Each structure stands twice: as structure tokens, then as C-alpha cells.
Amino acid sequence: GYKYTVDIDLAKYFDTVNHDLLIGMVREQVKDETIIRLIRKFLKSGVMSNGLLSPSTKGTPQGGNLSPLLSNIYLNNFDRLLEKRGHKFVRYADDCVIYVKSKRAAERVMTSCTKYLEEKLKLKVNRDKSNTGSPLKLNFLGFSLYKARGKAGIRPHQESIKRFKDRIRQITSRKRGRSIQ
């Protein structure tokens, strides 16, 4: 089957969403101009930095209620492209993994997806963090696949387990010097 993955990392995704492209995508589904104006105001609401409000020209507001929805709308055409090409993939927000059958296919898919994301959606693919390889070495949302005795499964990735243990040690350390209250 699918022995290779294409792991795409988008650099500062939520900060780089193009407002005009996004509004155009929303407009395809929403015909009410009042809603469109509200979404545009939400996008331009700005960020507070050192006590000063700076209006934003791109990106979705961090922690905003609409931000996850708008970011999914923005990548919806990318999902459709992958489906149209018959790819098996999983995407959660800006984390995307595509499963392919050969190393050559993985490299080809990486090139075409990078071109689409950068040229059509005006996003930046982080080439240092994006890669192709075995699904068994992949860390996706803190989990990894494994194969043992002919069976495949899913488990927490080793890095996630290490971070969890380190955090427990930090919380339960006797040297913390805090009261229980």
C-alpha cells in the first residue's frame, strides 16, 4: 500500500492567510454582504502589541472564535485538489500528511503541493520542516504509527511521551518550592 508520506508544514499559517483570497472564498458560499463585511472587520480587527493596536492586513486573529473556521475555508480548495487527484490524506488545521505509494510519487506530490500552496494560496511552505518519508517515522499531532507482528497501530509519539514525563517531573518536583494551595 501506502509506504511513503508527504508531511507539509506551513510557516506561520494563521499569520499569513491572505484576506482578499479568503473573502473571495467565503463569498462563494455566503451571499449576504452584511456577513461578508462582519468577517472582513473581524480579520482587520488587529493585534495588540506593547499596548498599541495595529490593524492587520493578513492572517486570522489568534484565539478568535472564527479563526479555525476561516482557516479551514482557506484550505478547502487544497483539500478538494487532493481528493480530485485521488490522494489519501489527513489535515488538521495547517498540519497535512498525504499518503503515497512510492518515493518518486512523494517527491512529485511535495513539489506540486508546494507550488499550489505558495502560488495559488500565497502561503509559505516551511521547507526545513516539510519532508517525505516513511509513515512509521512520522509525528502527526503527537501520535505515530507502528507495525508489530504484522499488525499496524497508533500510539503516542516518543517525543510526546518524553514531554509528558518531563512535565510530570516538573510539576511533582520537591524542589518546586510552592505550597499545595
Count the neighbouring beta carbons within 10 Å of the beta carbon of residue 74. 21
Query: How far, rounded to the nearest angstrom, does the alpha carbon of residue 127 sit from its chain's CA centroid?
Result: 14
Does residue 74 contact residue 25 with C-beta atoms inside 8 Å? yes
What mean pLDDT comes out for the span 69-94?
Answer: 94
The domain segmentation of the chain, as residue ranges, is 4-138, 139-181
Q: What percent of the chain has pLDDT over 70?
A: 94
Q: Which residue has the higher pLDDT, 152 or 40?
A: 40
CATH topology of domain 4-138: Alpha-Beta Plaits (3.30.70)
pLDDT at 54: 73
Helices 19-29 and 67-84: angle between axes, nearest 10 degrees? 80
| Single pTM value for the model | 0.77
pLDDT at residue 63 in the model: 80
Highest average pLDDT, of 72-81, 90-99, 148-157, comes from 72-81
pLDDT digits (tens, 9 = 90+) for 84-120: 999 999 998 888 999 999 999 999 999 999 999 999 9
pLDDT digits (tens, 9 = 90+) for 34-52: 999 999 999 988 766 777 7
Terminal C-alpha separation, the chain: 54
What is the mean pLDDT of the segment spanning 69-78?
95
Which DSSP helix (H) or strand (E) runs through 34? helix 33-44
